[in-house]
Chain A
Amino acid sequence: MLGKNKGANVPFSETVIELFIRLCGISAIIFVFGIFFFVFREGAGFLFGGLDLGQFLTSPEWYPTSLSHKRYGTFALILGTFSVTALAMLLAVPFGLGAAIFVSEFCSPKLRETFKIIIELLAAIPSVVWGFIGLTLMNQLIIKLFNAPIGLTMLNGSIMLALMSVPIIVSIAEDALKAVPDSYREAAEALGATRWQVIYRVLLPAAKNGLLAAVLLGAARSIGETMAVLMATGHSVNIPEGPLSWIRTLTATIAAELGEVARGSEHYQVLFIIGILLFTITFVVNLIADLVIKGIRQA
């Protein structure tokens, strides 16, 4: 790379700066490993010394502070995380894709800019504010609309997560749609296809990898979200039965319990092991999304 200088004398200061740039360049790798290392380090003692991993993953019994019989089963929490995310995606994906199609296929450039700005602003609202809305406004709405005893439910959390992940879905799906060459559209229209047919028969199949990646990244965002689900889902260790049952997620459990747990205790270490689990889940989802996107680039 320095060959580009063709024999020019590279001053010493520049060597130092380039070294610094390289160091910053690989910082992302260092940090990702650092995160894994330090979270692992805090939880490792119990992970390899005493924790029954089978029970950890499959038992719904979460009794970290029991005096007689401590049990660390996260099955209900895992199920809570996935069910709230699935419902959120069910709500967010149609609207997200619909909005992406509108922005990329129907908008004038000016309108497109406006919509993108609004989507950006929607993405900027902090999660604790969504949680607050869930706790106050959405809670009362759900009680009124569904005649539910308590509005702090999976549905409440899912609506908040849907609103939070829609901007991600829209922006990535729009990129994917824009990547479909115009010649595809022109060819379809020349054959007499309506706009709907163009979208349904040509655009969606052509952009399907990108759209899948959009959904995956939206889901990853939902899985990792903490404050909104902590405040809106009722925070109850429960195998979910329907949208109106109250649940608890992996993230919310860490947030609620880490503050008052004694450092180094089993309970403390289990919370870090849940952190490792979360890290792994989101890492895998992100990796798949990345491979899916790479897939389109190569095609």
Chain B
Amino acid sequence: MQKANIAVFTTRDVIAPTNLSERLANNKKTFLTFIVLLSAFGCAPSDDATGTARPGKPVVIKNKGSDTMVNLAQAWAEAYIGVSTTASVEVSGGGSGTGVAALINGTVDIANCSRQIRPKELEQATKNTGKVPREFIVGYDALAVYVHPDNPLTRISIPQLAEIYGEQGTLKKWSELGIAHAACPSDKIIRISRQSNSGTYFYFREALLGKARDFALGSLDLHGSKDVVEVIERTPCAIGYSGMGYATAHVKMLDVAVESGAPYYAPNLQNVLDKTYPIARPLYMYSLGEPTGEVKIYLDWLLSPVGQKIVERLGFVPLKSEGSP
């Protein structure tokens, strides 16, 4: 889900009946800029057409931040086209840090964040904009540990995962976990991971190893959450992690315990909401000050059952009840 580059989603293009000649003129203008640029090969003023709201057009709510959440934010924005005619949402990714930085600069209405805002950032934002950012939990992201369905393993503890994935880990073979994995003749654990700067990778590493230890090299660092599940479907020896929502009928999710003696919990909605499933984190949205007007309407809609249904559809965990937390 962590995409490779910043996504821009302009709903205005869809809802607003586009005036053809205006479009043409707009393109002509950029074309001229571009000719000037060619001859000069220097700096051209950035003609940012998306940022400015034209009179008569709906209000644009600017939403930026976490790459983990960019798909979710897009899906909301896409669905919101059918809900509101007075506001449209423009979404871009770039990471939680980018979102918070934009919030501090006051250039966005809503920042998406897959971690909680730091006290220092909160202070900066308050000082810079004069408004205190307001926090909303809009859903949860739970990572499931996947194995092949032929794997007899049904549960695993965090320390075991740490020894499988961590640097100088001691668990290299399935038999060392106390199981006989018949479908995997080599007995070798094939680790499936994600590219090393995706949010999912960061979160999983921190949940397993804290901040001091790294993952061992030699895992398959795949490019998307979907890729992880698809490779596991075909690979009996593999173990991998991915969002809970990516589960298919051809893979098995393991129950996870915090410690070897502790109770094991299955990755499901109930356990995530009870906060008993250990690899889950809340997803945050921050508005600049107490939300008002169109921003408030939008946030209320996100937290409503309709908005939360989209959370579930995208493989995240929705909130228990409606309303702001």
Given contacts A64-B197, A65-B202, A235-B222, contact A149 B238 (CB under 8 A): yes
Q: How far, in angstroms, from A65 to B206 measured CA to CA in the complex?
A: 12
Are A150 and B238 in contact, CB atoms less than 8 angstroms apart? yes
Chain A residues whose CB sits within 8 angstroms of the CB of B184 once the complex forms: 149
Chain B residues whose CB sits within 8 angstroms of the CB of A132 once the complex forms: none
Chain B residues whose CB sits within 8 angstroms of the CB of A76 once the complex forms: 217
Answer whether residue A63 sits at the interface, using C-beta atoms and an 8 A cutoff.
yes
Given contacts A152-B220, A260-B4, contact A68 B211 (CB under 8 A): yes
Given contacts A149-B237, A235-B222, A248-B221, contact A65 B212 (CB under 8 A): no
Given contacts A63-B214, A68-B212, contact A259 B5 (CB under 8 A): yes
Given contacts A65-B196, A68-B213, A267-B197, contact A150 B220 (CB under 8 A): yes
Answer whether residue A157 sits at the interface, using C-beta atoms and an 8 A cutoff.
no
Are A62 and B2 in contact, CB atoms less than 8 angstroms apart? no
Mark out the residues of chain A between 36 and 81 whose CB falls within 8 Å of any chain B CB in the assembled complex.
60-69, 76
Are B221 and A256 in contact, CB atoms less than 8 angstroms apart? yes
Are B236 and A237 in contact, CB atoms less than 8 angstroms apart? no
Nearest residue in A to B206 (C-beta to C-beta)? A67
Are B223 and A230 in contact, CB atoms less than 8 angstroms apart? yes
Given contacts A65-B202, A248-B221, contact A256 B4 (CB under 8 A): yes
Q: Map CB proximity to B onto A225-266 as digits: 1 under 8 Å, 0 otherwise.
A: 000001100111110000000101000000111111110000
Q: Map CB proximity to A onto B62-103 as digits: 1 under 8 Å, 0 otherwise.
A: 000001000000000000000000000000000101000000
Report the count of interface residues on A (CB-CB < 8 A). 36
The binding surface of chain A is classed by DSSP as loop
Are A60 and B220 in contact, CB atoms less than 8 angstroms apart? no
Q: Map CB proximity to A onto B32-59 as digits: 1 under 8 Å, 0 otherwise.
A: 0000000000000000000000000000
Chain A residues whose CB sits within 8 angstroms of the CB of B222 once the complex forms: 235
Are A236 and B221 in contact, CB atoms less than 8 angstroms apart? yes
Mark out the residues of chain B between 219 and 274 whose CB falls within 8 Å of any chain A CB in the assembled complex.
219-223, 231, 234-238
Answer whether residue B124 sits at the interface, using C-beta atoms and an 8 A cutoff.
no
Answer whether residue B3 sits at the interface, using C-beta atoms and an 8 A cutoff.
yes
Answer whether residue B186 sits at the interface, using C-beta atoms and an 8 A cutoff.
yes
Report the count of interface residues on B (CB-CB < 8 A). 35
Residue of A60, A237, A255 with most partner-chain B CB within 10 A: A237
A236 → B minimal CB distance (Å): 5
Pick from B217, B220, B231: contact of A62, CB under 8 Å: B217
Q: How far, in angstroms, from A231 to B202 measured CA to CA in the complex?
A: 22
Mark out the residues of chain A between 73 and 104 whose CB falls within 8 Å of any chain B CB in the assembled complex.
76
Chain A residues whose CB sits within 8 angstroms of the CB of B213 once the complex forms: 68
Q: How far, in angstroms, from A262 to B6 measured CA to CA in the complex?
A: 12
Chain B residues whose CB sits within 8 angstroms of the CB of A255 once the complex forms: 4
Q: How far, in angstroms, from A234 to B234 measured CA to CA in the complex?
A: 14
Q: How far, in angstroms, from A248 to B212 measured CA to CA in the complex?
A: 25
Answer whether residue A128 sits at the interface, using C-beta atoms and an 8 A cutoff.
no
A180 → B minimal CB distance (Å): 45
B228 → A minimal CB distance (Å): 12
Answer whether residue B190 sits at the interface, using C-beta atoms and an 8 A cutoff.
yes
Answer whether residue B129 sits at the interface, using C-beta atoms and an 8 A cutoff.
no
Answer whether residue A296 sits at the interface, using C-beta atoms and an 8 A cutoff.
no
Answer whether residue A143 sits at the interface, using C-beta atoms and an 8 A cutoff.
yes
Q: How far, in angstroms, from A257 to B223 measured CA to CA in the complex?
A: 10
Chain A residues whose CB sits within 8 angstroms of the CB of B190 once the complex forms: 149-150
Chain B residues whose CB sits within 8 angstroms of the CB of A63 once the complex forms: 196, 214, 217
Pick from A67, A152, A230, A260: contact of B67, CB under 8 Å: A260
Q: How far, in angstroms, from A151 to B201 measured CA to CA in the complex?
A: 23
Nearest residue in B to A267 (C-beta to C-beta)? B197
B211 → A minimal CB distance (Å): 4
Are A238 and B218 in contact, CB atoms less than 8 angstroms apart? yes
Q: How far, in angstroms, from A260 to B231 measured CA to CA in the complex?
A: 23
Chain B residues whose CB sits within 8 angstroms of the CB of A238 once the complex forms: 217-218
Answer whether residue B198 sits at the interface, using C-beta atoms and an 8 A cutoff.
yes
B281 → A minimal CB distance (Å): 17
Nearest residue in B to A268 (C-beta to C-beta)? B197
Q: How far, in angstroms, from A106 to B186 measured CA to CA in the complex?
A: 49
Q: How far, in angstroms, from A256 to B220 measured CA to CA in the complex?
A: 13
Are A257 and B195 in contact, CB atoms less than 8 angstroms apart? yes
Given contacts A61-B217, A149-B235, A257-B196, 16 further A-B contacts (CB under 8 A): A67-B206, A68-B214, A149-B184, A235-B221, A235-B222, A237-B217, A237-B218, A248-B221, A255-B4, A256-B223, A257-B195, A258-B4, A260-B4, A260-B95, A260-B197, A261-B197
The 3 closest A-B pairs by CB, nearest first: A259-B4, A237-B217, A67-B211
Question: 18 A–B contact pairs at CB < 8 A?
Answer: A61-B217, A63-B214, A63-B217, A64-B197, A67-B212, A68-B212, A69-B214, A143-B234, A149-B236, A150-B234, A150-B235, A235-B195, A235-B220, A236-B218, A246-B220, A248-B221, A257-B195, A260-B199
